[in-house]
Structure 1
Amino acid sequence: MMQRQMQVEESLFVKAARTDLYDAVADVRVMARYSPECRAVLGPRGPLTAGRSFVGLNRKGPFVWFTWCRVVHAEAPERFTFEVSTFGLPVARWSYRFTPGDGGVHVTESWQDLRTGRGARLTELLGLLFTGTPARGRAELNRAGMRTTLRRLRHAVER
């Protein structure tokens, strides 16, 4: 039996300033421009600071769901991280790192499944019901989504 993948990471080189990339990601209200699942974000405008919360409205095919999110790291222009929960149960951690390179920035998006321990079975079931994706398939779906997100981000910031 194949073990479930709990973390995924993708990187892309972007010819832009780290501050521009950081601001584009930390202003979560525009995440729907980049992410293939995110449809809207309800929360404060502008780059968020640690401790701030927002609600993500997501869609995949006929499935629509919301998540409650809290920023845990807002270290401009190096790192922006938020954690996702549903009904008070931990679901995932999303993080963006911005590493300077030769004439641009390596943007790394990572996802970590937090559906472990107490409540894990319930959040896995809720994930299947709301998103149509079993826990075992979430990592590869997210990997494909990250590639799309990073390409869209690069396109938007390099203009």
Structure 2
Amino acid sequence: MREATLVGSIEIAADPTTVYGILTDLARWERFVAETRVPARAADVRLSPGMTFRAWNRNGPWRWRTTTTVLEAVPHDRLVFRVSCLGSPVSVWRYDIVPTPRGSRVTESTRDLRGTAMVLLCLITTGVLDRAEHSRRNIELTLAALKAEAEAEQPKFS
């Protein structure tokens, strides 16, 4: 049985404004989102509620197309979006940003929405045998890359 929700968190030495700015800048996703490749026209696109975009996902030699719909985009607080494939919901992803004394704590979570038929189709399309473990690893990779991106951007004060 698939896990309903997978969660990972990381401390980032960058303020919530910086982290939120990176999360909602679609052109920057390829620098920190582990599996998704966004269209070239994503330059200067800021994610906002109701916005929908198409992207390519990849896993080694496998490639598949997804549609992402932004459900919530609350400045400096959270970003929530739903991913669909072939018109069927696949997952909901969420980033929560909490201010800390040293910057921010970012929690990324995902909930699998696939039914049995979509699980089988996704296995064939993506080459991923264990989606829960694959998503867990992608959360770790994404959060580590987001941390590096945000901390490199954060102004340093002496």
Q: Do the structures match in fold with TM over 0.5? A: yes
Aligned position for 1:64: 63
TM-score w.r.t. the length of structure 1 is 0.89
Counterpart Cα distance in 2 of 1:42 and 1:81: 22
1:38–1:58 contact (8 Å) kept in structure 2:
yes
Q: How does 1:8-157 map to 2 (within 5 A)?
A: 8-41=6-39, 44=42, 45-115=44-114, 120-134=115-129, 137-157=130-150
1:42–1:55 contact (8 Å) kept in structure 2:
no
Amino acid at match of 2:67: W
CA-based RMSD of the aligned residues comes to 1.4
Counterpart Cα distance in 1 of 2:2 and 2:111: 12
TM-score w.r.t. the length of structure 2 is 0.89
1:27–1:46 contact (8 Å) kept in structure 2:
yes
- Displacement of 1:64: 0.6
**Which protein, 1 or 2, shows the higher relative CO under an 8 Å CA cutoff with sep ≥ 6?**
2
Give secondary structure in 2 for the equivalent of 1:152: helix
Between the two proteins, the alignment pairs up a number of residues equal to 151
Q: Which runs of 5+ in 1 are unaligned?
A: none
- Displacement of 1:41: 3.9
- Displacement of 1:43: 6.0
Give secondary structure in 2 for the equivalent of 1:47: coil
> Deviation per CA, 1:7-62, whole angstroms, max 9, x where unpaired?
10000000111011011111123211112212334665332110001112111111
Counterpart Cα distance in 2 of 1:84 and 1:100: 27
1:42–1:54 contact (8 Å) kept in structure 2:
no
- Displacement of 1:155: 0.7
Q: Which runs of 5+ in 2 are unaligned?
A: 153-158
